[in-house]
Amino acid sequence: MIAVKGYEGHKVAVLGLGRSGRATAKALLAGGAEVIVWDDGAPAREAAEADGFLVQDLTRADAWDGVRLLVTSPGIAHLYPKPHPVIAAAWAAFVPVDNDIGLFFRSYADREWDDFDIRPRVVTVTGSNGKSTTSALLHHILEECGRPAQLAGNIGRGVLDLPPARDGEVVVLELSSYQTDLARALTPDIAVLTNMSPDHLDRHAGMGGYFAAKRRLFAEGGPDRAVIGVDENEGRYLANQLIEGPGDDRVIFTSSGQKLESAAWSVFARKGFLTEWRKGRQIASIDLRQVVGLPGAHNHQNACNAYAVARSLGLGPKAIEAALHSYPGLPHRSQRIGEKDGVIFVNDSKATNVDSAAKALQAFQNIRWICGGLEKEGGLGGLLPHVGSVKKAYVIGRDAPHFALQLTGVEAEICTTMGQAVAQAFADAEPGDIVLLAPAAASFDQYDSFERRGEDFIRYVQNITS
């Protein structure tokens, strides 16, 4: 683990005892801090107490005597829609609030690095969609090319649960807006913004607050190099804020669909081909159409972002291309599950919002679309321009009738349950059809996570294909 520096002999409180909270508490103890912990759930508190942690009720006014810092888990609201009572109490007691990401950046560097031949690097990946795939793909490329690498943050393990850095290692961190919004230290070597679309708007009081949380990674983090997806205005604005002039190649512009030949350094995908363009000339081109683990334009955008980082770390185009072809893909993200009688089943349960579902719909033809769940703010209007390949929708979830009514121009059948939707979609399907789970909604009306929803889809599909 990464022992937290700067709090030896000081009392530090930890709020939230999930994966990151427990790792944080252990890392603080390893750094010599006096740690007290709290969670709103009694089972989590009991488990922490059984593991030897000092549980102290942080809702009590006297709990803050001598506390130097509060570290909160990312899922706990600290400003919008309203501050958690413990965070509000920390403010009232003039106790700073941080999260594990901030502690990681304060603590990761070590004096042992002076003896390394190659200094370790930290790459952070944020954005609305594609964070996990970009992060995992980059990690895969690095390992395939022989570079020591770790994957952590919002994917893989908690950041403070990482082992100390090795000579030449690259740590790839997927960071959500919840993580970037509060961290008091953000100092990546390379930072990536994949794209921007409305999400988590209640947590950030609108799109402006959501973008501001992402922007902190670049504006306050001061990375040596930034990789910015410029297919939305937010990306174009951010890239423009970072460059010093037309010839500034510290920012790599990326796109899925646009030619970016005028930028000092760009990586873009059009019609299935990835192109690297630098200082007025083409450097490399890769045919992505045969890369099985990265189907569709949205995955080609992810490939551009991962490729751009790999190139900035000194890897060659041919080595990166070979690694792309061996990438297996991530579970629940355009994941091919199986085939039966010419019908292919694809699990994209991670498509939890309109934008990510739209990208999934654009990646395939002849779609039998399983959708529905806990609808997010803004409705489904943004999906309707992208349903041309949908032969029929099979709607699941608690609000399936309301969801189906919004699918104007699409034949829709209300199935409610995953089992019924998979069975009916396969019964209707013809050879060449794709049964695609791309919910365009959160899972929490029926499942405790998008992973559980995807696993349920896989179970029903395997009953058909086995």
pLDDT, tens digit, for every residue of 344-364?
999 999 999 898 899 899 989
Model confidence band, residue 462 (pLDDT cutoffs 50, 70, 90): very high
Q: Quick one: 225 and 194 in the same domain? A: yes
* pLDDT at 272 exceeding the cut of 80: yes
Gap between the Cα atoms of 262 and 449, Å rounded: 43
Gap between the Cα atoms of 316 and 113, Å rounded: 26
**What mean pLDDT comes out for the span 187-215?**
93
pLDDT at 201: 86
Model confidence band, residue 292 (pLDDT cutoffs 50, 70, 90): confident
Q: What is the CATH number of the domain that holds 341?
A: 3.90.190.20
Gap between the Cα atoms of 274 and 377, Å rounded: 34
Work out the mean pLDDT of the chain and round it to a whole number. Answer: 95
Gap between the Cα atoms of 70 and 25, Å rounded: 11
Residue 253 lies in a domain: yes
Q: Quick one: 50 and 113 in the same domain? A: no
Model confidence band, residue 379 (pLDDT cutoffs 50, 70, 90): confident
Half-sphere exposure of 419 (CA within 13 A, CB side): 1
pLDDT at 200: 83
pLDDT at 461: 98
Domain boundary among 325, 349, 374: 325
Q: Quick one: 261 and 392 in the same domain? A: no
Owner of token pair 């579902």: 357
pLDDT at 380: 85
**What mean pLDDT comes out for the span 429-448?**
96
pLDDT at 329: 86
Strands (E) in 54-120, as ranges, are 54-55, 67-72, 97-98
Handedness of CA 255, 257, 262, 265 (dihedral sign): positive
Model confidence band, residue 196 (pLDDT cutoffs 50, 70, 90): very high
* pLDDT at 378 exceeding the cut of 90: no
Q: Quick one: 48 and 66 in the same domain? A: yes
C-alpha distances (whole Å) from 180 to each of 69, 164, 287 are: 18, 22, 34
Q: What is the CATH number of the domain that holds 90?
A: 3.40.50.720
Gap between the Cα atoms of 133 and 295, Å rounded: 12
* pLDDT at 324 exceeding the cut of 80: yes
Give the percent of the chain with pLDDT over 70. Answer: 100
Residue 5 lies in a domain: no
Number of Cβ within 10 Å of residue 48's Cβ equals 20
- Sheet of 190-193: strand order equals 149-153, 170-174, 121-126, 190-193, 225-229, 251-256, 265-270, 273-278, 281-287
Model confidence band, residue 330 (pLDDT cutoffs 50, 70, 90): confident
Element housing 253 (H / E): strand 251-256
Residue of 18, 157, 127 whose CA lies nearest to 353: 127
DSSP H helices, 186-296, are: 201-204, 207-219, 233-242
Backbone angles phi, psi at 107, to 5 degrees: -120, -10
Number of Cβ within 10 Å of residue 227's Cβ equals 28
Backbone angles phi, psi at 123, to 5 degrees: -115, 130
Backbone angles phi, psi at 438, to 5 degrees: -140, 85
Q: Quick one: 282 and 376 in the same domain? A: no
Gap between the Cα atoms of 400 and 417, Å rounded: 9
Model confidence band, residue 90 (pLDDT cutoffs 50, 70, 90): very high
Model confidence band, residue 61 (pLDDT cutoffs 50, 70, 90): confident
pLDDT at 256: 94
Domain that holds residue 39: 11-98
**Structure tokens, 39:** 């969670």
Binding-site residue numbers for ATP are 127-133
CA 63 to chain centre: 35
Binding-site residue numbers are 127-133
Q: Quick one: 242 and 223 in the same domain? A: yes
Residue 48 lies in a domain: yes
pLDDT at 81: 94
Q: Quick one: 47 and 93 in the same domain? A: yes
pLDDT, tens digit, for every residue of 116-157?
999 999 999 999 989 999 999 999 999 999 999 999 998 878
Residue 3 lies in a domain: no
Residue of 290, 300, 338 whose CA lies nearest to 437: 338
Q: Quick one: 270 and 387 in the same domain? A: no
Q: Are strands 273-278 and 281-287 parallel, antiparallel or unpaired?
A: antiparallel
Domain boundary among 303, 325, 347: 325
Q: Quick one: 109 and 78 in the same domain? A: no
pLDDT at 221: 83
DSSP 3-state percent helix, strand, coil across the chain (nearest 5): 35, 25, 40
C-alpha distances (whole Å) from 173 to each of 9, 162, 253 are: 29, 11, 20
Model confidence band, residue 165 (pLDDT cutoffs 50, 70, 90): very high
Gap between the Cα atoms of 463 and 459, Å rounded: 6
Q: Quick one: 69 and 112 in the same domain? A: no
Backbone angles phi, psi at 272, to 5 degrees: 90, 5
Gap between the Cα atoms of 228 and 295, Å rounded: 21
423 near 460, Cβ under 8 Å?
yes
Q: Quick one: 112 and 217 in the same domain? A: yes
pLDDT at 313: 97
Give the percent of the chain with pLDDT over 90. Answer: 88
Gap between the Cα atoms of 260 and 257, Å rounded: 9
Model confidence band, residue 377 (pLDDT cutoffs 50, 70, 90): confident
Specify the number of domains making up the chain: 3
Q: Quick one: 256 and 141 in the same domain? A: yes
DSSP designation for 263: S
Q: Are strands 190-193 and 121-126 parallel, antiparallel or unpaired?
A: parallel
Residue 4 lies in a domain: no
Residue 84 lies in a domain: yes
Residue 330 lies in a domain: no
Domain boundary among 325, 357, 373: 325
Residue 2 lies in a domain: no
pLDDT, tens digit, for every residue of 27-41?
999 999 999 999 999
* pLDDT at 162 exceeding the cut of 90: yes
Q: Are strands 97-98 and 121-126 parallel, antiparallel or unpaired?
A: unpaired
Gap between the Cα atoms of 187 and 164, Å rounded: 17
